[in-house]
Structure 1
Amino acid sequence: MPEREAPTDHEQIDHTANKNFSLKRNLGIFDCICFVVGSIVGAGIFVSPTGVLQYAQLNVGVALCIWAAGGAISMMGALCYAELGSALPYAGGEYYHVKRGLGHLPAFIYIWTLILFILPASNAARALTFAEYATRPFYSGCPTPELLKKIVALAVLWILGIINTKSTKATTWVQNVFTVLKMLALILIVICGFKELARKMEIPGHLQNAFSSPDPNAAQIAESFFQSLYAYGGWNALNYIAEDIKNPSKNIPLCTITAVSAVTAFYLLVNISYLTVLTPKEIVSSAAVSVTWAVRVIPTVAWIIPVSVAISIFGSLNGDVFMLGRLNYAGSKEGHLPSLISMLHVNHLTLAPATVLSTIIASVFVIPSELISLTNYFGFSSSLLGGLTVTSLIVLRYREPNLHRPYKVFLPVAFGVVLVYTFLFLAPIIQSPKVQYFYALLFMLSSMLIYFPFVHFKLRIPYFDAITCHLQLLMEVAPTNIFEDPKSQ
């Protein structure tokens, strides 16, 4: 008998041909709020206060305004994303919305930048920060060896990757539990900080004369905003996991707005608590602001803070791994990534290939790096991509006026968000150009070298179909029910 040819990329073995094989909508209101809060509150609030003050030229008033403005901008963005998520509740979030509003090429540039640079770099930064805090109690007064930090960072990335490939319920449980724990840690910092303020005879001078330091220029304000917005990153979490959410048209706007409001209030209170105990120079010179704060305020149990920070980052990273898997899944279903990536495990119904891919890419970024600079570079790229997403909302308002929108944002808010993102993108280039920003733009544009031959002209790589088939069998995954988007044709 002649040997049977391996199935093509569109003819993969499907063990579930007679089953409704797709993602399940299991996430309720509490789960959704925990995913948003848990995704936002992580490394940022424990790392970014240093960067915000540093780029604000130690001007406490400007720094606090930037934290408040960062929350306001995040809320404005959240309102825009709530409209998109409730009207188009499909996995992939911003990527899917850009494709719907602006077309395939901008969407491919978007997903190329997100899955190969921004999100993996962010996850690597969080993993390295987790390693820093998790190992700090064992190296009191001494720096943690870089090799150990890298090993711990890789370990936590792969532990979370395995959890995400084994069970969606386990992932949700981890997210909920760790979100509650991290919020308890923030409450502790706020209460202790205000107790210190009440105990003092007068308000510290740098809070009384908050605007006495030199004012930063436009480029420094933009870079300070990058630090703040990095700490708020994750407010768009529900748009990525929309296909897992019960009643997304109602729950996405409700949970996003609730979570972002709560986080903004806590961030301002935590920063005031830091400034009550530490001077701006002490904050800028501290590699771990919360630990320095704890040694000053609760010295006998100061170890609680690094443990709490590690817990916080672990939960945030869990949410990011979950979201990144959904982004890869969406890109594959839309034909911008190999079909294997959108397949589900036949037993666990998890996105095993997508999660493995995102974990591998994040592992590559676990190299010695100065986190403040790293957050600036993907903050710079994120401002462009965020602007594209909100532009898609504006385009869809005029192109598809009859699209059912359970929630509609006040349109001037969307224009305001686009203007803010445009400022954040252009100000550093014009006033303080750096070669790294050019590299970031070059990286985004390099996606066209892949898009035109392999997506637009559908050039096929020899033996790729056979490799896909073997990987499908090895990983025990099968294709999902394809979502046919009439606008994608």
Structure 2
Amino acid sequence: MAMDIEKKIYLKRQLGYFWGTNFLIINIIGAGIFVSPKGVLQYSSMNVGVSLCVWVFCAVLSLTSTLCAAEIGITFPYTVAHYYFLKRCFGPFVAFLRLWTSLFTGPGVLASQALLLAEYGIQPFYPSCSAPAVPKKCLALAMLWIVGILNSRGVKELSWLQTVSTVLKMGILSFISLSGLFLLVTGRKENVRRLQNAFDAEFPEVSRLIEAIFQGYFAFSGGGSFTYVAGELKEPSKTIPRCIFTALPLVTVVYLLANLSYLTVLSPQELLSSDAVALTWTDRVIPQLTWSVPFAISASLFSNLVTSVFETSRTSYIASKNGQLPLLCSTLNVHSSPFMAVLLDVSMGSIAIVLTNLIELINYLFFVFSIWTVLSVIGILKLRYQEPNLHRPYKVFSPFLFITAAISLSMVLIPLIKSPKMQYIYVFLFFLGGLLFYVPLIHFKLKLMWFQKLTCYLQLLFNICIPDVSDEHVPEEES
């Protein structure tokens, strides 16, 4: 591969506080706030008061779990820090299982985001009916591959897009929030009446309440995304806490006001029957803007898709560097982007787009994420006991660890006990399926000669190479 020998190719620390705050806001404010209000209300048995309490609960859970992730990212300031963390705490097999689930849950998230983007982007062309499935899936596929191309151009190429997206998202949600607040303050009877006697409806069963939390937590997911980019942040021990305490309070206030606004304008029945809540709300309040809002939302969701591909490709890249994926996935192009990892994730996401059912997918994704959250908290406590002298510039408040573990564990056990479904059993079988790949390919290091030849050919075809050593790589003795 021909290139300047003076120019080293590796993931660089070039991202600061402003980029980090944008990155966190973009990760949290995504598809969730435009999908989850419907799911939360549905699983709360249409009890408006309970649904609002679920949103508050999800905000607290997001804060505690994000702070736990912050300790991991600061203690191990490397790209995909949670992978190194699990490998150090529980060994290479557990780290591989985390990778194994990510290889499939990651494309599932990409598919759901691309489909939602397509839903908002294409709906204005079908004002009197739902958009057909085929054009929607074609648009989703096109958006996903455009995002893949953008990610292959490197981190700096994405900075301007993130800034514009943050402004659009906060502008849309602020408009919805302030409009609903104005309707409440002005005291119009038809608006105020919707929130009166909010707790009069039937209280949901515990198992359904857990599923409502899954739906709400989906809107807050992304708080731990710093573990994916800790190796590319400047001074992560300072940058990560500052970004968290800037972004999370802001997002929480906006989310609560947005949900109040939805419920002020729409009845529970209307909200449940809507496929695009923000569009229905706009059509009711300011119908003149109905055409413009979908495109603004689509533009903001497009950036979420960019960021999700960014994160999932980093996981494949780091796992490859540690010998748990083919060497090909750890190659970088001249823009210091893991090109083959991006190509792999976009390809798998394209397959998932055809099969995605958004509401059910959210439940099963966050059932899996809850399992890994419990293991992460156990790992933090384990390291604190076994390695008390390990350098920790930041330590999360201990009660937060137990709160996060207790909530996440209940979100795993209660659905299994109260409302067992075969799909949850399939999740555990899927976990065990990782053994079929780990034992021959990782433990016994089985080499496939044809794949090594393919690696050389693809390196020449795409002009990619193995990266140079940098400070984002964990020395072998630490891992």
TM-score, normalised to structure 2's length?
A: 0.96
Which residue of 1 is the match for residue 112 of structure 2? Answer: 125
Letter in 1 for 2:172: A
Which residue of 1 is the match for residue 158 of structure 2? Answer: 171
Residue 353 (1) aligns with residue 340 (2): yes
Which residue of 2 is the match for residue 220 of structure 1? Answer: 208
Paired residues for 1:155-194 under 5 Å? 155-194=142-181
Residues 104-156 of structure 1 show CA distances to partners (whole Å, capped at 9, x for unaligned) of: 1111111110122x121111001001001000111111211111011100111
Shift of 1:18: 6.1
Residue 152 (1) aligns with residue 152 (2): no
Query: 1: distance between equivalents of 2:170 and 2:213?
Result: 23
Shift of 1:204: 2.7
Shift of 1:410: 1.3
Residue 200 (1) aligns with residue 187 (2): yes
The answer to whether the 8 A contact 2:194-2:264 is kept is no
Residue 342 (1) aligns with residue 326 (2): no
Paired residues for 1:394-433 under 5 Å? 394-433=381-420
Q: Identify which range, 121-130 or 455-464, moves more after superposition.
A: 455-464
Query: 2: distance between equivalents of 1:260 and 1:414?
Result: 18
Shift of 1:81: 0.9
Q: Find the partner of 2:99 among 86, 89, 111.
A: 111
Query: 1: distance between equivalents of 2:232 and 2:342?
Result: 16
3-state SS of 2:396 partner: coil
- State percent identity of aligned pairs: 42
Residues 299 and 368 from structure 1, CA distance in 2 versus in 1: closer, same or farther, beyond 3 angstroms?
A: farther
Shift of 1:162: 0.2
Residues 312 and 19 from structure 1, CA distance in 2 versus in 1: closer, same or farther, beyond 3 angstroms?
A: closer
Shift of 1:167: 2.8
Query: 2: distance between equivalents of 1:474 and 1:165?
Result: 15
Shift of 1:485: 2.8
The answer to whether the 8 A contact 1:59-1:213 is kept is yes
Query: 1: distance between equivalents of 2:216 and 2:86?
Result: 25
Which residue of 2 is the match for residue 43 of structure 1? Answer: 31
Residues 63-92 of structure 1 show CA distances to partners (whole Å, capped at 9, x for unaligned) of: 111111101101001111111111111111
The answer to whether the 8 A contact 2:111-2:356 is kept is no
Query: 2: distance between equivalents of 1:335 and 1:138?
Result: 48
Which residue of 2 is the match for residue 240 of structure 1? Answer: 228
Which residue of 1 is the match for residue 275 of structure 2? Answer: 287
Letter in 1 for 2:322: E
Residues 268-322 of structure 1 show CA distances to partners (whole Å, capped at 9, x for unaligned) of: 1100010111111111111111111101101111223222221221111111111
The answer to whether the 8 A contact 1:238-1:256 is kept is no
Residue 485 (1) aligns with residue 475 (2): yes
Which residue of 1 is the match for residue 373 of structure 2? Answer: 386
Shift of 1:199: 3.0
3-state SS of 1:344 partner: coil
Which residue of 1 is the match for residue 217 of structure 2? Answer: 229
Letter in 1 for 2:17: I
**CA RMSD across the alignment:** 1.6
3-state SS of 1:401 partner: coil
Letter in 1 for 2:82: E
3-state SS of 1:442 partner: helix
Which residue of 2 is the match for residue 82 of structure 1? Answer: 70
Q: Find the partner of 1:32 among 20, 35, 49.
A: 20
3-state SS of 1:236 partner: helix
Q: Identify which range, 80-89 or 473-482, moves more after superposition.
A: 473-482
Aligned length: 475
Query: 2: distance between equivalents of 1:406 and 1:318?
Result: 31
The answer to whether the 8 A contact 2:214-2:366 is kept is yes
Query: 1: distance between equivalents of 2:179 and 2:286?
Result: 8
Which residue of 2 is the match for residue 459 of structure 1? Answer: 446
Residues 199 and 344 from structure 1, CA distance in 2 versus in 1: closer, same or farther, beyond 3 angstroms?
A: same
Query: 2: distance between equivalents of 1:413 and 1:369?
Result: 34
Query: 2: distance between equivalents of 1:255 and 1:25?
Result: 16
Residues 237-290 of structure 1 show CA distances to partners (whole Å, capped at 9, x for unaligned) of: 111011111111110121123212211111111000101111111111111111
Letter in 1 for 2:25: V
Shift of 1:19: 4.8
Task: In structure 2, list runs of 5 or more residues that go unmatched.
Answer: none
Query: 2: distance between equivalents of 1:57 and 1:292?
Result: 21
The answer to whether the 8 A contact 2:108-2:356 is kept is no
Letter in 1 for 2:28: I
